[in-house]
Structure 1
Amino acid sequence: MNQTPTLPSPDQPRPAEGYAGDISPRLAWQWVSAGQAVLVDVRSDAERDWVGYVPGALAVAWKQWPGMRLNPDFDAQICAAVPPGSTALLLCRSGVRSIAAARRATELGLTAYNILEGFEGDPDENGQRNRRGGWRFHGLPWQQG
């Protein structure tokens, strides 16, 4: 007997190894809007400046431009940005760096989720982003500046 696998609801976090879980951009925005979580943008300063940012998100880069080297102050900055007992939702370009950042934040004692698809989503067949998922693709608040 064939059974169709049950896919996780986009309205529920997905379990993950090493951090609290993965969350859809829409659910992340619901939690942030309701004051249930803190949105932390872990992209580089250059990415936020050139590509856009989410108003009200806290900027704590995981890696910095140029060279995309690990931010040596990440631990102190994320702990200062996220109040004790709060939930951190981590956003990067495509939802990859934010996994590493969520794992590190968890090691530091925070409850941290990765936002699936990131700010720009995955590239399409032409190598262009913002056409296959991502914060902007879903029409969530952002500015360019």
Structure 2
Amino acid sequence: MSNLDDILSNGNTRGKQSSLSYAGALTPQETYTLIDQGNGVVLVDVRSRAELELVGRVPLAKHIEWASYPGMVPNPDFAAQLQTQVDKNSTVIFMCRTGGRSHNAALLAQQLGYGNAYNMLEGFEGEANEFKQRTLINGWKHAGLPWNN
């Protein structure tokens, strides 16, 4: 699937099925297709700087911390930073480690007037296996999508 409208439609359907108040939810593969096609889609990585440095980053993503390490202290300037860096008319996709913080960021974005806010399911590292190891089940890295240290 490579058509922008089809991908967003699938994301919107997932959003409705999950009763999300924001536009919808996308897989890592769908997210990559959208940003790779250069459709003005913005990927916002909300992970901490420590996560970026220790685990890796997506080259095409903007970075706005949802919370900072240590202590995962909430970023009081997140809303202002988002509004400064991302146009409200953009399609914006939020990504974190597993999809939780990015869900919260998409909720906030919708409340701020971003009508095309999406959460990226699975996150950068994906869910943990029985040994608490990530990147082995799903997520951006598991899908073999571009990232670097």
TM-score under structure 2 length normalisation: 0.86
User: How far apart are the structure 1 equivalents of 2:112 and 2:67?
Assistant: 17
- Correspondence for 1:18: 21
- Correspondence for 2:121: 116
- The reply to whether residue 130 of structure 1 matches residue 135 of structure 2 is yes
How many pairs are equivalent? Answer: 135
Per-residue CA deviation, residues 7-57 of structure 1 (Å, 9 max, x unaligned), is: xxxx52111412111100000011111223101000011101110000021
Q: Which runs of 5+ in 2 are unaligned?
A: 1-6
Per-residue CA deviation, residues 88-144 of structure 1 (Å, 9 max, x unaligned), is: 100000011100110001111112100000000000011100001000000100001
User: How far apart are the structure 2 equivalents of 1:25 and 1:58?
Assistant: 16
User: How far apart are the structure 2 equivalents of 1:126 and 1:132?
Assistant: 12
- Correspondence for 2:148: 143
TM-score under structure 1 length normalisation: 0.89
Larger Rg: 1
Q: Which runs of 4+ in 1 moved over 3 A?
A: none
Contact conserved, 2:88 with 2:113, CA < 8 A, in 1?
Answer: no
- Correspondence for 2:61: 57
SS at match of 2:44: strand
SS at match of 1:89: strand
Give the % identical residues.
Answer: 46
